[in-house]
Amino acid sequence: MDSLNQPDLFKATLWLIALVFFIFFLFIYGFRKIRQGVKDAFNPDGAMESGKVTESDSDMAFVFNTFQNTLKDISDRKHELIRMHRDAEERIRQVERYNQCILESMVSGVITFDREGDLTSMNLAAAEILGWTKDVSPVGKSFEDVLDGSDHMKEILNKVLEENRKILREETTFTMQNGDRRWLGVNASPLKGDDGEMIGTTIVFTDLTEVKELQRQVELKNRLADLGKMSAGIAHEFRNSLGAILGYARLAERQAVDNGILRDSVEGIMTEVKNFDAMLTDFLNFARPVELNREACSLSDLVKESLDVLSEETGKRGAKVETIFENAFPVFADHIQMRQALTNLIKNALEAVGDQGEIRIQGKRIAGRSELWIHDNGCGISMENHKKIFEPFFTTKREGTGLGLAITQKTILSHQGSLTIRSEQGEGTLVIVSLPIHNAPV
Ligand code: ADP
Ligand code: MG
């Protein structure tokens, strides 16, 4: 019993039951004695005949047997109680295992600290979010080490420990050891024991990084949309003024037939005005919501048309352009917008290559999609610039508008396509346009 650590109450109960039974049988024994005495008093002859001495012995045996049976009964009950105790312990272990499973399958991180601020437990999600690998156990480490990536979280924990109160719905950032930053939504509360005393703290947190990124993108999109609307209005005004400037410049050109210097200046004005107008056209294309007028067309034809548009520039740069199309690569697209998008991409390739420029444009069929691979051996794009090339107005060119890729991406996305650019600085660039295949005849 000691080894099983039965409670004192249990022992006392057993002894009490034994005592009660013992007294009970003593009472029966006494009662039977008295009854026999009374019988003998009324029938003294019969007493001898019925054998008084034998009956007394059997009474003793009865009491003894009953006492033995009682002890056996008690012993049986003891074993029964031990079995019940084991069952109860097993049930507790099952509940503990169940709770552990719940904790481990939670998507939120849960960590607990004791009163001194040392870590007592950390679930799987918490380890993943905070960047702890399986081979290093953080249990026992101080909160200063565990929450090293976030001063705000340390502050929250300190407050909970000092003020014994909950701190809910806090948002904070956590910088991991590899430098990555995560946004966390944090709830912290005191951990209380059976008697209501604070025995530590619990912190529950959720990774909000993706949500924050989406929020940022939505905000950026909204800002750009507002900016787009506003600047589209201004752009229209500019175009009107440009039209007037161009008109006056043409008049001046006519007057300057005999004045070479003036003619050059007027031509300069007209070229600049035309460039500016082209930029405004690009900008208005970008700012305008996409409206598609789709029809069955082929990527190979679109590329041919784009190359025609760019033939003058290709000739000027002396670039070698090779096209490889095994079939027409049918797509369902807005002919004009898609041709413009491809023209932008090929123009970028032309502008990137030097004297020995080589551009290879290849049609491919990959995983049920028509793809266009535009490869150039030009200057390539640095890692730093690569992050920004789709941003409107980002350009590395003196006369660039920085709108070509932004418009192209918008057009391709609106066709359920994707635009991927792989590049290495100094090594050239590969641009991949992927579009759903269209099976209707072109
Ligand atoms: P722009 O051509 O007016 O500069 P884009 O949006 O077309 O604007 O391109 C943005 C930037 O992306 C370019 O300024 C250039 O730095 C880079 N870029 C795009 N395509 C290429 C390419 N094929 N090779 C090298 N750099 C490129
Ligand atoms: Mg461009």
Instruction: Compute the half-sphere exposure of residue 79: CA atoms within 13 Å on the CB side of its CA.
Output: 5
Going 98 to 101 to 106 to 111, the CA torsion angle's sign is: positive
Which residue, 150, 163, 80, is CA-closest to 111? 150
pLDDT of residue 41: 46
Instruction: Compute the half-sphere exposure of residue 305: CA atoms within 13 Å on the CB side of its CA.
Output: 14
- Cβ(185)–Cβ(170) below 8 Å: yes
pLDDT in tens, the chain (442 residues): 444 455 677 777 888 888 888 888 888 877 776 666 555 544 545 444 444 545 566 767 787 788 889 889 989 999 999 999 999 999 999 999 998 899 888 899 999 999 999 999 999 999 999 988 888 888 999 999 999 999 999 999 999 999 999 999 999 999 988 888 899 999 999 999 888 899 999 999 999 999 998 998 899 888 877 877 887 788 888 888 999 999 999 998 888 878 888 888 999 999 889 888 888 888 887 777 778 899 999 999 999 999 999 999 899 888 999 999 998 888 999 999 999 999 999 999 999 998 889 999 999 998 888 999 999 999 999 999 999 999 988 999 988 889 999 999 999 999 999 999 999 998 999 999 999 988 755 5
Which residues face 420 on adjacent strands?
432
Distance from C-alpha of 12 to C-alpha of 25, rounded to nearest angstrom: 20
Is the pTM above the cut of 0.85?
no
Site to probe by mutation for ligand 1, drawn from 310, 388, 405 as the one with most ligand atoms within 8 Å of Cβ, is 405
CATH architecture assignment, domain 294-436: 2-Layer Sandwich (3.30)
pLDDT of residue 6: 56
Tokens of 24: 């009970």
Judge whether 106-207 and 294-436 match in fold.
Answer: no
Question: Would you kindly state where each structural domain of the chain is located, as residue ranges?
Answer: 1-105, 106-207, 213-287, 294-436
| Ligand 1 neighbours (beta carbon < 6 A) | 344, 348-349, 352, 376, 378-381, 385, 389, 394-397, 400-406, 429
Q: Tell which atom from ligand 1 comes closest to the C-alpha of 345.
A: 20
Cα(365) to ligand 2 centroid in Å equals 26
SS3 332: strand
Please give the C-alpha separations between residue 21 and each of 16, 25, 65, 174, 192, in angstroms, as whole numbers: 9, 6, 12, 70, 46
CA 407 to chain centre: 30
Residues 190, 195, 197: CA angle, nearest 5 degrees: 35
Instruction: Compute the half-sphere exposure of residue 90: CA atoms within 13 Å on the CB side of its CA.
Output: 6
Cα(429) to ligand 2 centroid in Å equals 14
Which residues face 177 on adjacent strands?
none
**399: how many CB neighbours lie within 10 A of its CB?**
8
pLDDT of residue 441: 56
Q: Tell which atom from ligand 1 comes closest to the C-alpha of 385.
A: 16
- Cβ(392)–Cβ(286) below 8 Å: yes
Which residues face 337 on adjacent strands?
none
SS3 track for 256-269: CCCCHHHHHHHHHH
DSSP 391: S
- Cβ(131)–Cβ(178) below 8 Å: yes
Distance from C-alpha of 137 to C-alpha of 110, rounded to nearest angstrom: 15
pLDDT of residue 43: 54
Site to probe by mutation for ligand 1, drawn from 389, 409, 411 as the one with most ligand atoms within 8 Å of Cβ, is 389
Distance from C-alpha of 263 to C-alpha of 62, rounded to nearest angstrom: 142
CATH code assigned to 106-207: 3.30.450.20
Tokens of 125: 């999600």
Q: Which residues contact 63 (CB under 8 A, 6 or more apart)?
A: 25, 26, 28, 29
Cα(288) to ligand 2 centroid in Å equals 18
Distance from C-alpha of 145 to C-alpha of 147, rounded to nearest angstrom: 6
SS3 43: coil
Please give the C-alpha separations between residue 386 and each of 357, 390, 425, in angstroms, as whole numbers: 21, 8, 10
The residue nearest atom 19 of ligand 1, judged by CA position, is 348
- Classify strands 358-366 and 369-376 as parallel, antiparallel or unpaired: antiparallel
Residues in the chain: 442
What is the dihedral angle through the alpha carbons of 265, 271, 275, 277, rounded to the nearest 10 degrees?
90
pLDDT of residue 417: 93
